[in-house]
Amino acid sequence: MSLFRGIIIALGIYFLVASMLPIIGYQIYIYGPLRVSTINLVAGELFFLVVIKSSSLMTMNYFILNYLKNRRPLSSVAPLLVFCNFIIGFGFVFFIVADGVRWTHWVFLLLLCLLSLILHHENKKESNNIFKNEW
């Protein structure tokens, strides 16, 4: 295994751990002294930043795994679709776990589900056309 692949694997493990820890109320910091601290999941501005952070880290982890398996996205919409799906997944889980979630948060999650369906349709359409003129 090359040094680059080792670093990529280590980053993938960190991204996986750092994205899942907020679900149980912890956050890991690797800058400065390595430490794990508790976070309070109450719906508000910081709550949504935690959802975005977990979704971003898991999206990067998804593409790291695809890179290690030599799989490339077949369309330019695929990263947006993956990120949107992780926001929906983490949003749902954090809405269940957190305090102070209002009905407007669930409406936003439903709008993200609609966006995900649109992105899925565009991803299918674009991935079918990507190799059409290659032969």
The residue behind tokens 């609609």 is 114
Give the model confidence (pLDDT) of 28-71 as tens digits.
888 878 888 888 777 666 788 889 999 999 999 999 999 999 88
Q: CA-CA distance, 69 to 75, in Å (whole number)?
A: 17
Give the model confidence (pLDDT) of 1-14 as tens digits.
799 999 999 999 99
Instruction: Record the tokens describing residue 135, joined without a space.
Output: 């032969």
Per-domain residue ranges of the chain: 3-129
Beta bridge partners of 99: 42
Q: What does pTM read for this prediction? A: 0.86
